[in-house]
Structure 1
């Protein structure tokens, strides 16, 4: 039995469904909103690479180290982006959240906060994780701010850690949230979602 089993998560008009090849067209359209693949520090697939992006995610699911979701609008089924559990380590009940991106029209809306609330709730309350982690490019300042707004703590920087799509070597900023910190973070996320916009 897989640690992260196939599941669908939904709240506040957003639905996270297991990523499949059926999402190829929707994922390509979401990435085209803002031409997100042109951003140097993200994992968004170029239009011609969308099918391979999904196939790679499915292979990682089969291997047990990543579970990718399509982020969809519940009312219409429109694909808004993608997010994943990854670097899944069942013996220590740890997952990371990443490979996250949204169409430009969804950025700076409730979508990311809702997705994180859904994924963190599932990780801590269903999977009984001890810790949830994040990692991001040292130059992806928007991602770092978003992770810090969630209440995650910066663990440090791994220097010379990974290749970017352009072939340059990146430093990776690591964050984590422990299970004992989750109740306060959950309260804060609900507050952010409920306050008037």
Structure 2
């Protein structure tokens, strides 16, 4: 039995459903909202590479990918994944996360992280959940830090960007003992009135 089994996670009008080739058109449309593939510090697929992006996600052994959707309509808003899944030490990372421009700075990311962290810690019994991001993806670093994750360090010269430059990778983690406080903060952020 796999450590991360196929599952649909739902809350606050958002559904994380197992990514499939049926999401190709929706993912392409979500990425087009903001032409997200033009950002050099993300892994958002170009329109013509959307199918290959899904196929790669589905065949990567230590990754479980979700389509982020509106629960009521099934409209695809983006994608996110558990990856670098280590069953032996009960650790997963959350990444390959991106959303249509219209969903950025809304409740969508906070809701997705609440769903994924709840599943990781409360269902899978993870000891640690990690994140990694490009050293120049400052928006992602701020979002991860807002979750309450701790910066573990930087791996220099770690990966290639789509433009051929070599990136440094900033690593973050959250331990199981920190989860109750982080859950309380995420719920607070989701429940507080919007300006």
TM-score normalised by length of structure 1: 0.98
Matched, 1:69 2:99: no
Aligned partner of 1:6 in structure 2 is 6
Residue segments in structure 2 that go unaligned for 5+ positions in a row: none
Size of the alignment, in residue pairs?
194
Q: Deviations over 1:24-57 (max 9, x none)?
A: 0000000000000000000000000000000000
What is the aligned-residue RMSD (CA, Å)?
0.3
- Deviation of 1:79 (Å): 0.1
User: How far apart, in 1, do the equivalents of 2:58 and 2:98 lie?
Assistant: 17
User: Superposition pairs for residues 1-197 of structure 1, below 5 Å?
Assistant: 1-60=1-60, 63=61, 65-197=62-194
Residue segments in structure 1 that go unaligned for 5+ positions in a row: none
User: How far apart, in 2, do the equivalents of 1:129 and 1:74 lie?
Assistant: 26
Give 3-state SS (helix, strand or coil) of 2:144's partner: helix
User: How far apart, in 1, do the equivalents of 2:14 and 2:178 lie?
Assistant: 25
Give 3-state SS (helix, strand or coil) of 2:140's partner: helix
- Deviation of 1:71 (Å): 0.1
User: How far apart, in 2, do the equivalents of 1:95 and 1:142 lie?
Assistant: 22
Give 3-state SS (helix, strand or coil) of 2:37's partner: helix
User: How far apart, in 2, do the equivalents of 1:158 and 1:55 lie?
Assistant: 28
- Deviation of 1:77 (Å): 0.6
User: How far apart, in 2, do the equivalents of 1:72 and 1:5 lie?
Assistant: 19
TM-score normalised by length of structure 2: 0.99
- Deviation of 1:150 (Å): 0.1
- Deviation of 1:23 (Å): 0.1
**Divergent runs of 4+, >4 A:** none
